[in-house]
Amino acid sequence: MSGVTLNNVIKRYGETQVIHGVDLQIEDGEFCVFVGPSGCGKSTLLRMVSGLEETTGGQIHIGDRDVTTEDPARRGVAMVFQTYALYPHMTVQENMGFGLKMNGYPKAEIDAKVAEATRILKLEEYLKRKPAALSGGQRQRVSIGRAIVRGPEVFLFDEPLSNLDAELRVEMRVEIARLHKEIGATMIYVTHDQVEAMTLADKIVVLRKGVIEQVGAPMDLYNDPDNKFVAGFIGSPAMNFLKGTVAKGGKVDVPGLQTSIKLPVTLPSEGTAVEVGLRPEHLVVDRNGSTHRVELSESLGGVSYNYLVSDSGEKIIVEERGVDRSAEGDVVGLKIDPESARLFNADTEMRIR
Amino acid sequence: MSTAVKDRKPLGLKIALWAFVSIWFVCAAFPFLWTLWGSFKVELDFFSIADWTNAIFGRNTADTYGRPFTGAGYDGAFVQEGFFGNAINTMIVCVCVVTISLTIGTLGGYALSRSGQGYVFWLLITALMFRALPQVALVSGYLPVFFDWNVWGYLPTAIIVLVAINQPFTLWMLHSFFESIPKDLDEAAKVDGCTQFQAFRHVIIPVMWPGVITTGLFSFLLAYNDFIVTSLILNEGNRTMVPQIAAFLGTTYTEGNVMFAVAAVVSATVPLFILVMFFQRQIVSGLTAGAVKG
Ligand SMILES: Nc1ncnc2c1ncn2[C@@H]1O[C@H](COP(=O)(O)OP(=O)(O)OP(=O)(O)O)[C@@H](O)[C@H]1O
Ligand SMILES: [Mg+2]
C-alpha cells in the first residue's frame, strides 16, 4: 500500500495544454475525489496516474517508485471505467481473473482471489455468465471485482456510477465506501456528483481548467472555501453571490439585501467591490420584511427551495424547512447571520478572511 | 410479440410481400437451378435450338445415353481434363490470399484504428483509390516486370497480386470494425497487465471474430471468383477454376467443350453455397457491426 504524489505534472496535446502543473499529495489509504466542471481535466489527470495517458512534464510517484514513464501494467494500479469495459467474450469469473492470468499467477491462487472478490461483492450467482447477461449495476460490480482481484496499490475510478440509475447509484456508493473501509487501499475517484464527492472523500481536489483550485476535507471546502469558484462549486444548491461594496465603519453595503452587514473579516479599503456569498441553508425568510419577492418555490418534501428576487434584480435561493413555508408571489424579507457569510474580492474572486 | 405484430398486417400487404419474395427467389435461384439441371444433359439438349423443352426433358441425352441424365460433362471435366487440379489450385490461392490479407489487415487495421494520427485518414483514402482502379490497369502494369523476372505463370505470383488488390478493402473493412470496439477495452487490458499486442490478441480479436470472419469471407470470394488476375498471370498448367472454365468454353481460335464448362461451373458453385450456409450466423453478426458492444 502506498500513496500517490504528483509533482508539477503537465499534460499537453500538441499545442494545447490541458493540465497546468499540478502538485498533489495523496496519503496511503486515502480516498481522494477529483471534482470540477466538465472538461477541466479530471479524467486526464486520472489517466496520467494510470499510465494510459503520457505525462508531458513533472513526476508521478506511487509509494517511493517514480512511475512517470512506466507502463500501466507495471504501475500497480487498477482502474474502473465509466463504461465498465468488461471483456464481452469472457465470463464474469474469467473477467475477474484475467489480470492475474496475464501476470502468470497459478490457477489455484487466481481462483482463491476471485472467490474472495466474489464474496465481497456478492457476485456468486453470476460467475458463469457473460457480461451481456448482467444488469448495469452487476456489470459495474464485476468491473470493481476485476480491480480488487489484482490487489493493486492504487484504485482509480473514472465516474464509475454515472451510467447507473439514481437508486442503484446510492447503493453502489455505499458499497464503494464499505469496500474502501474493508480494503484500505489508496483510491482516486473522479465524479460529477456532489453527493458522491462529499460522502466518499477523505480529501476533495477541486479542479478548474487544468489547475487545482483547492484541496481539502469535504467539510473544510464547504465551510472555508479559498475562492468564489470553490464556494460555488461545492454545495447544492450553490451558494448565492451578491454584489457589495465596502463602506464606512467596517461594513459592507449589499444592495441585494437592502442593508449593510458587519462581517468578522479584515476588510479591504473603502469602496472595493466585493461579493458576499450566502448558502441557501444559512438564510432565513422573514415574513415581516418586504425586500424580496418569491418568484418560484420548489418543494422536495422535507425541504423547499425558494427562488427570491430582490428589488435590484438579484436572484437568491433560500432553503426552508418546517410546516409554515412561503408560497410563490409572497413578499418577504431575509435574515442573515453575518458569521455564515463569506466575502470574496469581486475582481480576483479570492476569499477575504 | 413479433408474431402479434406480423398478424396485424393487412392481408393484401401480406400477399404482396409473399409474391415479391417468391418472384425474387425464383429470379435469383433460376439460373443456378437451370444450370444444375442442364449440366446432366448433352450440349444438343441444353443449348437446343429446335425446341427449348429439350433442355428440360433431355430427349437427345436419352437418344445418346439411354437415360435423360448423363454425367458425361463431369466425367469430361474431371477425368479427361483434370479439373480437380484446378480446384486444388483455387484452394491454394484462396487459403493463401485469405491468410495473408487477414494477417496484414487485422494488424494494420488495428494499428490504424488505435493510432489517432492525422495521416490515418489519408492512408485509408489512398488505399481506397487503389481499390477503385480497374484491376486490369494494375495487372497490365505488373506483367512486363513479371516476364522480366521470370515469375509469370506461377501460383505465388497470382497470390501476391490478389493480396495486393484485396488488401485496401480488407484494411478498410477491418479498420472500421476495430473502430467500433471501444478503446476502453484495450485500456482495461493494458491496466490488467497486457502489452498492446497481448491486448490485441487476448481481448480485441476474440471480440472482433465476426468481423474477421466476414472480411475473410469477402477476401475468399474475391480470390475464388477472380478472373482477370488469374487468367492473365497463370499459365495453362497452373490455372485455377475460373480461368479453366473460360478455357472450356473455348475461344475463336480453340475449340472448347461447353458441357465441360457447365459441369465445372456447377462444381465451382456448390462449395460457395456450403461455405455461406456454414458461416451465415457469423456473417450476419459481422455485417451488423454494432454487435460488438462492451
Ligand atoms: N486528444 C486530445 N487532444 C486535445 N485535447 C484533448 C484531448 N483529449 C482531451 N482533451 C482536452 O482535455 C481537457 C480535459 O479533458 P478530460 O477528459 O480530462 O475532462 P474531464 O474533466 O474528465 O471532463 P468530463 O467531466 O466531461 O469527463 C478537455 O478540455 C479536452 O478538450
Ligand atoms: Mg471525464
Would you say residue B131 has pLDDT above 90?
no
pLDDT tens figures, A305-342: 999 998 888 999 999 998 888 888 889 999 998 899 99
A22 and A123 co-located in one domain: yes
A17 and A96 co-located in one domain: yes
**What is each CA distance from A264 to A260, B15, B172, in whole angstroms?**
13, 87, 69
Would you say residue B289 has pLDDT above 50?
no
Q: Are B56 and B41 in contact, with CB atoms under 8 Å apart?
A: no
- Which of the pair, A325 or B252, is modelled with greater confidence? A325
Q: Which of A233, A263, A286 is the last residue of a domain?
A: A233
Asked whether A43 lines ligand 1 (CB < 6 A), one says: yes
Q: Confidence class of residue B251 from pLDDT cuts 50, 70 and 90?
A: low
Q: d(Cα B135, Cα B223) in Å, to the nearest integer?
A: 13
| Residues in chain A closer than 8 A to B181 (CB atoms) | none
Q: Region of B139 please: left (phi>0), alpha (psi -120 to 50) or beta.
A: alpha
Would you say residue B254 has pLDDT above 80?
no
pLDDT tens figures, B24-40: 999 999 988 888 888 88
| Residues in chain A closer than 8 A to B293 (CB atoms) | 88
Work out the widest C-alpha separation in chain B, in whole angstroms: 77
Amino acid A165: pLDDT: 85
A93 and A154 co-located in one domain: yes
Q: Confidence class of residue A163 from pLDDT cuts 50, 70 and 90?
A: confident
A245 and A223 co-located in one domain: no
Amino acid B292: pLDDT: 40
The number of domains in chain A is 2
Q: Which of A70, A102, A157 to mutate to test the interface with B (most CBs of B within 10 A)?
A: A102
Q: Rounded mean pLDDT of A236-252?
A: 91
Q: Rounded mean pLDDT of A208-217?
A: 95
pLDDT tens figures, B49-70: 888 888 888 888 888 888 888 8
A335 and A216 co-located in one domain: no
Q: Region of A112 please: left (phi>0), alpha (psi -120 to 50) or beta.
A: alpha
A81 and A215 co-located in one domain: yes
* Domains of chain B, start order: 2-76 (no CATH), 82-287 (1.10.3720.10)
Q: Which of A191, A212, A233 is the last residue of a domain?
A: A233
Amino acid A61: pLDDT: 95
Instruction: Work out the mean pLDDT of chain B and round it to a whole number.
Output: 86
Domain range enclosing A280: 240-352
Number of H helices, E strands in chain B: 16, 0
Q: Confidence class of residue B290 from pLDDT cuts 50, 70 and 90?
A: very low
Q: Are A28 and A3 in contact, with CB atoms under 8 Å apart?
A: yes
Q: d(Cα B130, Cα B126) in Å, to the nearest integer?
A: 6
Amino acid B1: pLDDT: 43
**What is each CA distance from B49 to A350, B45, B46, B54, in whole angstroms?**
100, 9, 9, 9
Q: Mean pLDDT check: name the lowest of A164-173, B100-109, B251-260, B284-293.
A: B284-293
Number of H helices, E strands in chain A: 8, 21
A166 and A109 co-located in one domain: yes
Q: Are B262 and B186 in contact, with CB atoms under 8 Å apart?
A: no
Q: Confidence class of residue A111 from pLDDT cuts 50, 70 and 90?
A: very high
Amino acid A223: pLDDT: 94
Q: Nearest residue on chain A to B199, judged by CA atoms?
A: A102
Contact between A88 and B184 using a beta-carbon 8 Å cutoff: no
Amino acid B288: pLDDT: 55
**What is each CA distance from B141 to A17, A350, B39, in whole angstroms?**
50, 73, 38
Q: Confidence class of residue A246 from pLDDT cuts 50, 70 and 90?
A: very high
Name B140's bridge partners. Answer: none
Amino acid B2: pLDDT: 46
What's the CATH number where A71 sits?
3.40.50.300
pLDDT tens figures, B135-149: 888 888 888 999 999
| Residues in chain B closer than 8 A to A84 (CB atoms) | 294
Q: Confidence class of residue A236 from pLDDT cuts 50, 70 and 90?
A: confident
Amino acid A28: pLDDT: 94
Q: Rounded mean pLDDT of A68-87?
A: 91
What's the CATH number where A251 sits?
2.40.50.140
Q: How high is the ipTM of this complex? A: 0.84
**What is each CA distance from B53 to A202, B33, B57, B59, in whole angstroms?**
90, 15, 6, 9
Work out the percent of chain A whose per-residue pLDDT is above 70.
Answer: 100
Is B192 within 8 Å of chain A by CB?
Answer: yes
Amino acid B78: pLDDT: 87
Contact between B187 and A86 using a beta-carbon 8 Å cutoff: no
pTM here is 0.82
A32 and A119 co-located in one domain: yes
Instruction: Work out the mean pLDDT of chain A and round it to a whole number.
Output: 92
Q: Which of A233, A252, A269 is the last residue of a domain?
A: A233
User: Phi and psi dihedrals of B175, rounded to 5?
Assistant: -55, -45
CB atoms within 10 A of CB A301: 5
A226 and A271 co-located in one domain: no
Contact between B191 and A73 using a beta-carbon 8 Å cutoff: yes
Amino acid B256: pLDDT: 62
Q: Confidence class of residue B293 from pLDDT cuts 50, 70 and 90?
A: very low
A312 and A347 co-located in one domain: yes
A266 and A338 co-located in one domain: yes
Q: d(Cα B226, Cα B234) in Å, to the nearest integer?
A: 12
DSSP H or E stretch at residue B232: helix B228-233
Contact between A86 and B294 using a beta-carbon 8 Å cutoff: yes
Would you say residue B4 has pLDDT above 60?
no
Is B204 within 8 Å of chain A by CB?
Answer: no
Work out the percent of chain A whose per-residue pLDDT is above 90.
Answer: 70
CB atoms within 10 A of CB A257: 26
Q: Confidence class of residue B287 from pLDDT cuts 50, 70 and 90?
A: low
A153 and A42 co-located in one domain: yes
CA B29 to chain centre: 18
Strand-pair category, A259-262 with A331-336? unpaired
pLDDT tens figures, A125-145: 999 999 988 988 899 999 999
